[in-house]
């Protein structure tokens, strides 16, 4: 017979995992953090037609969100070097939990759920040593911290889960920062970024790096193809006029390969990619907010479509192709022929747009 204590914690867990579903909050298809004209920060749910399904306040500037695979629950992460993440019930706007980084740690702004939605993984900096860490939280038990893994590098930024598996992919950007010196980069001459694949227990399955002469190409953002390849977006830390390609693909058999990008294109981008998404089975979309450009790349043929939109950054898959947001408040569909603007808000959408319920 179960003890009283077990029954109670079981009931609490059930309560947490039986909240409203995404359909109950106006059927958002995407989430994005944003800033209002008054300077307040919010998390928005967007529908397929660009309309706003909900908006809930955040305590400070957000960066990315992780959508729970089934419940209408999202974890909104503070921007680096923030120490909070907020678990929001998107139906009521009520913050259900506030996740606090442990002492001596800060978040990098991204996180990912396990396939069953019971575990949350967060990218973190161990401030004293600069080591990249992955925090593990029990979502079914009030987001209790249950483990702490090495990220296998410095400066882990985006973390994702590969489709139909519990393998995590981590973009270790390679750049050491310390909150005492703000966002200053402390090791640009020696940085060693990598893409790490690991299981939920922290066992490294693969580590992929670029050739040594490209060690200043900081891998920040990643997205998974259905077959387990990983689309990669980089931020070049050397002379922006000497930047190599800042988009690439990881495949288990080929490692990390940069996609061809012309010098002409690269010169306008300041060596900076802001976000990446996989659209369908063979296309990736990479945004370059400093160049006002999004490229849709067919990774099979290297065919590239240039889509121009000032400060475009957030991009995510959608049923018809994709959806992109920008810092000027625009929401546009990404279609085979280009952008179709579907909405304009008096908001500045933050870096990342996250598809809801798209993972499997």
Partner 1 sequence: MRCLTLACVICAIGMPASADLEALRDDHILPRYAAFAEATDHLRAAATGDCMPGSVLPAYHDAYDTWVRIDHVRFGPVETQDAALSIAFWPDPKDRVGKAMARLTSARDEAVTDAAAFSQVSVAAQGFTALERLLTEPQPDPDYACSFTRAIARHLAQTASDVSKEWRDEYGAVLVSAGAAGNTVFPGAEDAERAAYTSISTALEFLHDQRLGRPLGTFDRPRPNRAEARRSERSARHVLLNLSSLKAMTNAFADVPLERINKAFDAAIERAEVLDDPAFAGVSDPAKRLKIEVLQRAVRDLQVVMAEDVGRALGISAGFNSLDGD
Query: Where do contacts with partner 1 occur on this chain (CB under 8 A)?
Result: 35-37, 42, 44, 52, 54-57, 63, 79-80, 92-95, 109, 157, 183, 220, 239, 241-242, 263-264, 267, 272, 274, 289-290, 292, 310-313, 326-329, 341, 344-351
CA 4 to chain centre: 40
Q: Quick one: tokens of 296? A: 């849709």
- Helix (H/G/I), strand (E/B), else coil: 73: strand
Q: How far is the CB of 19 from partner 1 (least distance, A)?
A: 16
C-beta closer to partner 1: residue 229 or 352: 352
Q: Is the peptide bond before 81 cis (omega within 30 degrees of 0)?
A: yes
CA 147 to chain centre: 21
Q: How far is the CB of 2 from partner 1 (least distance, A)?
A: 35
Q: How far is the CB of 259 from partner 1 (least distance, A)?
A: 19
Q: How far is the CB of 220 from partner 1 (least distance, A)?
A: 7
Q: Which residues contact 97 (CB under 8 A, 6 or more apart)?
A: 86, 87, 142, 143
C-beta closer to partner 1: residue 93 or 255: 93
Whether 222 and 208 have beta carbons less than 8 Å apart is answered as: no
CB atoms closer than 10 angstroms to residue 135: 22
C-beta closer to partner 1: residue 264 or 301: 264
Q: How far is the CB of 95 from partner 1 (least distance, A)?
A: 6
C-beta closer to partner 1: residue 64 or 198: 64
Whether 286 and 271 have beta carbons less than 8 Å apart is answered as: no
C-beta closer to partner 1: residue 134 or 294: 294
Q: Quick one: tokens of 76? A: 């909104």
């Amino acid at each position: 017979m179960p003890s009283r204590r077990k029954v109670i914690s079981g009931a609490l867990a059930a309560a947490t995992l039986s909240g409203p579903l995404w359909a109950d909050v106006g059927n958002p298809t995407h989430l994005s953090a944003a800033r209002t004209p008054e300077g307040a920060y919010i998390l928005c749910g967007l529908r397929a037609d660009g309309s706003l399904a909900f908006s809930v306040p955040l305590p400070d500037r957000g960066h990315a969100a992780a959508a729970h695979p089934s419940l209408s629950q999202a974890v909104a992460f503070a921007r680096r070097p923030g120490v909070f993440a907020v678990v929001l019930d998107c139906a009521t706007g009520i913050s259900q939990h506030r996740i606090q980084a442990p002492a001596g740690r800060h978040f990098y702004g991204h996180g990912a759920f396990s396939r069953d939605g019971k575990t949350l993984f967060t990218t973190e900096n161990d401030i004293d040593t600069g080591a990249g860490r992955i925090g593990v939280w029990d979502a079914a038990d009030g987001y209790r911290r249950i483990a702490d893994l090495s990220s296998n590098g410095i400066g882990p930024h985006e973390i994702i889960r590969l489709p139909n598996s519990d393998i995590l992919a981590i973009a270790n950007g390679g750049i050491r920062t310390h909150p005492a010196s703000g966002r200053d980069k402390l090791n640009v001459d020696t940085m060693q970024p990598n893409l790490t694949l690991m299981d939920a227990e922290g066992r490294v399955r693969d580590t992929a790096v670029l050739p040594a002469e490209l060690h200043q190409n900081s891998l920040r953002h990643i997205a998974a193809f259905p077959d387990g390849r990983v689309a990669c977006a980089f931020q070049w830390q050397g002379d922006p006029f000497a930047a190599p390609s800042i988009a690439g693909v990881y495949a288990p058999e080929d490692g990390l390969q940069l996609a061809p990008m012309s010098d002409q294109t690269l010169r306008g981008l300041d060596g900076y990619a802001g976000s990446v998404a996989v659209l369908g089975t063979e296309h990736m979309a990479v945004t370059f907010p400093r160049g006002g450009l999004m490229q849709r790349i067919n990774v099979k043929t290297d065919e590239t479509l240039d889509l121009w939109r000032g400060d475009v950054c957030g991009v995510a898959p959608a049923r018809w192709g994709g959806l992109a947001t920008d810092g000027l408040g625009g929401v546009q569909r990404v279609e085979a022929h280009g952008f179709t603007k579907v909405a304009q808000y008096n908001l500045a959408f933050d870096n990342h747009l996250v598809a809801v319920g798209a993972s499997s």
